[in-house]
Amino acid sequence: MSIRYEDGLVRRIPFRDVRLADFAGSIPWRTFRSVHGQEHYSGSYASATTGGHVVYESRLELARLLLADFDGGVCGIFAQPCLVVARVGGRVRRHVPDFLLAQGTGTVQVVNVKPADRLEDPKIVEALAWPGELVEGHGWRYEIWSGADPVLLENVRFLAAYRRAGVVPEVEVARAWSSVCDGDSLGVAERRLAGGLPRYAARPPLMALLWSGRLATDLSRPLAGGSVLRRTA
């Protein structure tokens, strides 16, 4: 495995010896340029988890990145984290995973993102299989991700607008937290918090609490006034 660092150094580590700590101070193995007519939509995402920008190569990768950023158990996100080289079936194979996710529990997950229709190609399936065997043999988790429930993704995209500290003043978030009761519907919580003002005036701090995970609701349904809120902290 080869890892690239901010100072330009490339470190080569046998896969059996690699540890999560080896990714500290690393940068993506490759970067992307926007070119007119390109098939994929690439860019960088301002992550609340990392406090910096994380690159992505497609809208599908951005969707997986949003879910990782929303996941309170994820404490580190590395895009294009390394180059893996291995001899497979008598051939030297090379692979750059899409993401490496570090969990607060110490679990490490390597994620490759591919559209579902691409997984019908045996060559793609084989190209993704051998890295998975290496990763799982090392005691890490491996995921091939092709999408999630569209309603969940739309809800998380909406909540992501409130992911940055300071977008909603902390005093307003604290007041919302002290006001909301376990089992409130979103509409009831908004009316109570807004007082005589329109409901929408109280929405931002409640959305910030949902993004942070201090409040939870069923995001498999469209977020609406009837969404039931649960206090988790």
The whole-number pLDDT of residue 40 equals 61
Chain segment 128-159, per-residue pLDDT in tens: 999 999 999 999 999 999 999 999 999 999 99
* Fold held by 2-145: Trna Endonuclease; Chain: A, domain 1 (3.40.1350)
Binned at pLDDT 50, 70 and 90, residue 233 comes out as confident
Q: Among residues of the chain, what percentage have pLDDT more than 90? A: 88
Tokens representing 170 are 């902390």
d(CA 12, CA 77): 20
User: Is the pLDDT confidence value at 175 over 90?
Assistant: yes
* Strand pairing category for 2-5 and 43-46: unpaired
Name the more confident of 33 and 111.
111
Binned at pLDDT 50, 70 and 90, residue 34 comes out as low
Chain segment 177-225, per-residue pLDDT in tens: 999 999 999 999 999 999 888 888 899 999 999 999 999 999 999 999 9
Q: What are phi and psi of 143, to 5 degrees?
A: -135, 135
Chain segment 98-125, per-residue pLDDT in tens: 999 999 999 999 999 999 999 999 999 9
The whole-number pLDDT of residue 35 equals 53
Helix (H) or strand (E) holding 44: strand 43-46
The whole-number pLDDT of residue 31 equals 77
User: Is the pLDDT confidence value at 96 over 90?
Assistant: yes
What's the average model confidence in pLDDT over 156-170? 95
The whole-number pLDDT of residue 197 equals 84
Which value, to the nearest 10 degrees, does the dihedral of the CA atoms of residues 207, 211, 215, 221 take? 80
User: Is the pLDDT confidence value at 62 over 60?
Assistant: yes
User: Is the pLDDT confidence value at 37 over 60?
Assistant: no
Q: What are phi and psi of 31, to 5 degrees?
A: -120, 170
Q: Among residues of the chain, what percentage have pLDDT more than 70? A: 96
What's the average model confidence in pLDDT over 16-26? 96
The whole-number pLDDT of residue 194 equals 92
d(CA 95, CA 68): 22
Residues of the chain with CATH 3.40.1350.10: 2-145
Residue ranges of alpha helices (H) inside the chain are: 59-70, 122-137, 150-159, 170-179, 186-194, 203-212
